[in-house]
């Protein structure tokens, strides 16, 4: 009997093992056609996670790896075990993508530490989507930035797997901590630009508050409240700039992340201390100085401990920072309530203005600890408070002036005369400022352009070209560079003189400007009789057609004047960024120059293109 059951139990065991293996390698799927709503596809839900491993794209395609299911967005904490720190892989399948979107893209911001994203199409093609720095299996080699990043999916892909490799060696909490939403690329870019515009407006209000209070403080040095408001606004502005991630666009250094996050944590406490000093100045008590000394001692200890702790320890103790700022805020509320009980002037308005800050701080603490809620508003609430208080102080400032004006008629007249004088000075200053701006614009134009032809000079050309090449590599777009050299130009100078030679250069520049080039294309004088044209988002074939038309058109239009008609011809050399295998601007110029040299050698008045001899390297 046992012999009869043994094959059956063995077969059952094998089936259960295979089923368990299949379940461990199955990647959750999101159907874009069914799940998209109003042009937005949320990627929240169940994802596959491979802990402490980066399976290759081929292994992922074959399914030869083991996963576990997790909910996204969500946290992975260092405190839950060593497996959460190190390197992980997040995977999710998306189907029917091209049926729902024309140019699908997703904006990534709250993806902790360093990551790299790939798309594996069901057809077997791999597409690199982007990265936030340098992923690594060791903490020393990891590099990361916190700036927003836009991932663009292949527009012709129907279904595939989104793969995010992540290395997390520093922060206590890691993982995908905010909702990822697929939208059209234009909508995603519009959202980024809207957020950037809102932050610029926010920073503008902050700068206005700082400058306004500093100007008023310069006129009334006894009003220390104005100086405190300016310092309060500056610290809040600095903290908001660091936490936004946009600072990383301007300071693109590998180690800046560690400095910025430490400074950001220090600036969690600092605004609360400035708020406490502001309230103690407006509503002083007998223990004001000891309280201020204690608060600044707390700040010093925070700076010392933050600078000495590792980033992992520092982020682990984030609740301590948050608790400290919350306690300071409650102390401020208590001081305001005490002022209200003692019927202090402005206590009621202060309480009404400060209470929303405490609500916003509590909201930010909740948002920071919840992966499903990411609306932060404390900085906005603080700046609204500062703006209102600045206007109140400004109103007090103006009221003091009005009171002084009405003391005597003579004083009123004197103030009126001084005001008119100040107005005239302001008008003169405005006129001088406008003149300086005009002069600055003229100087800038002269510094960027060639004085003879009016085209960009070589320095401006190289500055713009480097940016265009960077964008061409980033978005995998073609970019063609055309070098143009007037034929027999030395003979023209020798026969007719340099004035006529300059006239020919001016004519050629005018001819190029009058041609149907796009605004995003660049014309520049490279040197002597050499001119350069950069055709953005233009393939080598299209660039050759445009250049051939330019070549033929130039030869058909004579240069007229107080001299015999001169028929100009030019030789053109073209090099395209990708087909020439150029890695930088210098290589691209060299390739175009070789093509130009070939045009000269083959008889002039012709167009030659550069093509690389070696085959393309496919990654």
DSSP annotation string for 135-158: --SSGGG-EE--S-EEEE--TT--
* 304 phi, psi to nearest 5 deg: -65, -50
**Tokens 């992923």 correspond to what residue?**
135
The mean per-residue pLDDT over the stretch 480-498 comes to: 91
Q: Is the dihedral of CA 492, 498, 503, 505 positive or negative?
A: positive
Question: Is residue 104 scored above 80 in pLDDT?
Answer: yes
Q: Are 4 and 66 in contact (CB under 8 A)?
A: no
Dist. CA 595–CA 297, nearest whole Å: 69
Q: What is the CATH number of domain 198-405?
A: 1.20.1070
Domain boundaries along the sequence of the chain = 24-179, 198-405, 411-448, 458-610
CA terminus-to-terminus distance, the chain: 60
CA atoms within 13 A on the CB side of 176: 28
pLDDT tens per residue, range 174-207: 778 778 889 998 988 888 888 778 878 878 888 8
> Between the CA of residue 190 and those of 195, 323, 470, what are the distances in Å?
8, 36, 22
Q: Are 268 and 327 in contact (CB under 8 A)?
A: no
- If we measure between CA atoms, which residue out of 167, 134, 150 comes closest to residue 253? 134
Higher pLDDT, 1 or 120: 120
Q: Which entry of 113, 264, 529, 608 is annotated as an active-site residue?
A: 529
Query: Considering the chain, what is the average pLDDT of its residues?
Result: 83
What pLDDT does residue 2 have? Answer: 39
Q: Among 342-351, 554-563, 587-596, which is the least confidently predicted range? A: 342-351
pLDDT tens per residue, range 307-329: 898 888 888 888 888 888 889 88
What pLDDT does residue 110 have? Answer: 66
What pLDDT does residue 428 have? Answer: 78
Q: Are 339 and 284 in contact (CB under 8 A)?
A: no
pLDDT tens per residue, range 9-42: 555 544 444 444 444 568 899 998 888 888 899 8
List residues bridging with 531 in a β-sheet.
Answer: 484, 525
Q: Among 75-84, 343-352, 463-472, 540-549, which is the least confidently predicted range? A: 75-84
pLDDT tens per residue, range 34-61: 888 888 998 888 999 998 889 999 988 8
The mean per-residue pLDDT over the stretch 136-145 comes to: 80
Q: How confident is the model at residue 480 (pLDDT cuts 50, 70, 90)?
A: very high
Higher pLDDT, 542 or 433: 542
Max avg pLDDT among 21-30, 51-60, 352-361, 481-490: 481-490
529 is catalytic: yes
- If we measure between CA atoms, which residue out of 24, 143, 164 comes closest to residue 90? 164
Q: How confident is the model at residue 516 (pLDDT cuts 50, 70, 90)?
A: confident
Phi-psi label, residue 488: left if phi above 0, alpha if psi -120 to 50, beta otherwise: left
What pLDDT does residue 540 have? Answer: 94
Higher pLDDT, 397 or 239: 239
> Between the CA of residue 363 and those of 374, 458, 609, what are the distances in Å?
9, 53, 61
- If we measure between CA atoms, which residue out of 172, 145, 141 comes closest to residue 309? 172
Domain 458-610 classification at class level: alpha beta
**Fold exhibited by the domain 24-179:** Jelly Rolls (2.60.120)
Q: How confident is the model at residue 243 (pLDDT cuts 50, 70, 90)?
A: confident
Question: Is residue 554 scored above 70 in pLDDT?
Answer: yes
Pairing mode, strands 104-108 and 86-95:
unpaired
Q: Largest Cα–Cα distance in the chain?
A: 123
What pLDDT does residue 20 have? Answer: 41
Max avg pLDDT among 171-175, 178-182, 475-479: 475-479
What pLDDT does residue 574 have? Answer: 97
Question: Is residue 62 scored above 90 in pLDDT?
Answer: no
Neighbours of 445 (CB within 10 A): 10
Q: How confident is the model at residue 613 (pLDDT cuts 50, 70, 90)?
A: low
385 Cβ partners below 8 Å, 6+ apart? 353, 354, 356, 357
Question: Is residue 226 scored above 50 in pLDDT?
Answer: yes
Residue 112 CB burial class (10 angstroms; 0-12, 13-18, ≥19)? buried
The mean per-residue pLDDT over the stretch 571-582 comes to: 94
Question: Is residue 553 scored above 70 in pLDDT?
Answer: yes
Q: How confident is the model at residue 436 (pLDDT cuts 50, 70, 90)?
A: low
Q: Among 84-88, 117-121, 426-430, 499-503, which is the least confidently predicted range? A: 84-88
pTM of full prediction above 0.75 = no
What pLDDT does residue 595 have? Answer: 95
Q: Among 65-79, 186-200, 435-449, which is the least confidently predicted range? A: 435-449
Q: Among 162-171, 175-184, 408-417, 511-520, which is the least confidently predicted range? A: 408-417
Q: How confident is the model at residue 399 (pLDDT cuts 50, 70, 90)?
A: confident
What pLDDT does residue 178 have? Answer: 77
């Amino acid at each position: 009997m046992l012999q009869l059951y043994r094959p059956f139990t063995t077969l059952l065991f094998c089936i259960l093992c295979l089923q368990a293996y299949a379940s461990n390698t199955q990647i959750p799927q999101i159907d874009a056609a069914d799940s998209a709503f109003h042009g937005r596809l949320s990627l929240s839900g169940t994802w596959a996670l491979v802990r402490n491993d980066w399976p290759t794209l081929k292994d992922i395609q074959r399914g030869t790896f083991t996963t576990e299911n997790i909910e996204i967005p969500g946290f992975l904490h260092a405190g839950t075990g060593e497996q959460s720190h190190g390197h992980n892989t997040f995977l999710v399948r998306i189907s029917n993508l091209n049926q729902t979107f024309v140019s699908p893209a997703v904006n990534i911001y709250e993806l902790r530490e360093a990551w790299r994203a790939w798309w594996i199409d069901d057809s077997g093609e791999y597409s690199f989507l982007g990265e936030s720095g340098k992923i690594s299996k060791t903490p020393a080699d990891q590099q990361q930035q916190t700036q927003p990043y836009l991932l663009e999916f292949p527009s012709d892909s129907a279904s595939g797997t989104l793969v995010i490799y992540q290395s997390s060696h520093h922060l206590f909490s890691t993982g995908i901590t905010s909702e990822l939403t697929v939208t059209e690329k234009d909508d995603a870019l519009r959202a980024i630009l809207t957020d950037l515009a809102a932050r610029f407006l926010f920073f503008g209000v902050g700068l206005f508050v700082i400058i306004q209070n500093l100007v008023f403080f310069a006129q009334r040095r006894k009003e220390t409240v104005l100086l405190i408001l300016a310092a309060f606004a500056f610290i809040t502005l600095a903290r908001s700039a660091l936490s936004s991630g946009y600072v990383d666009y301007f300071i693109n250094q590998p180690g800046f992340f560690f400095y910025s996050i430490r400074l950001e944590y220090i600036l969690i406490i600092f605004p609360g201390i400035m708020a406490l000093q502001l309230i103690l100045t407006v509503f002083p008590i007998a223990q004001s100085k000891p309280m201020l000394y204690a608060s600044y001692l707390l700040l010093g200890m925070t700076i010392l401990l933050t600078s000495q702790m590792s980033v992992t320890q520092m982020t682990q103790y984030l609740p301590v920072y948050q608790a400290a700022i919350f306690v300071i805020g409650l102390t401020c509320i208590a001081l305001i309530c005490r002022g209200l009980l003692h019927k202090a002037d402005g206590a009621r308005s202060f309480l009404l203005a400060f209470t929303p800050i405490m609500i916003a701080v509590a909201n930010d603490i909740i948002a920071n600890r919840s992966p499903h809620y990411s609306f932060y508003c404390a900085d906005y609430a603080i700046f609204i408070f500062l703006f209102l208080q600045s206007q109140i102080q400004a109103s007090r400032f103006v009221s003091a002036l009005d009171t002084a004006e009405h003391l005597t008629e003579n004083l009123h007249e004197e103030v009126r005369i001084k005001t008119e004088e100040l107005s005239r000075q302001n008008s003169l200053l405005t006129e001088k400022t406008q003149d300086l701006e005009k002069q600055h614009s003229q100087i800038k134009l002269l510094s960027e352009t060639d004085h003879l032809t009016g085209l960009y000079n070589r320095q401006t050309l190289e500055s713009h070209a480097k940016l265009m090449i960077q964008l061409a590599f980033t978005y995998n777009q073609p970019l063609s560079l055309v070098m143009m050299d007037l034929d027999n130009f030395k003979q023209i100078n020798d026969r007719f003189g340099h004035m006529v030679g300059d006239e020919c250069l001016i004519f050629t520049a005018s001819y190029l400007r009058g041609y149907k080039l796009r605004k995003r294309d660049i014309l520049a004088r490279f040197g002597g009789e050499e001119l350069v044209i950069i055709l953005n988002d233009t393939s080598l074939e299209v660039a050759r057609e445009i250049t051939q038309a330019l070549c033929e058109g130039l030869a058909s239009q004579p240069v007229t004047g107080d001299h015999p008609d001169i028929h100009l011809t030019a030789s053109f050399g073209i090099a395209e960024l990708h087909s020439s295998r150029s890695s930088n601007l210098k290589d691209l110029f060299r390739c175009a120059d070789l093509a130009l040299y070939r045009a000269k050698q083959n008889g002039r008045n012709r167009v030659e293109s550069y093509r690389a001899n070696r085959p393309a390297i496919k990654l």
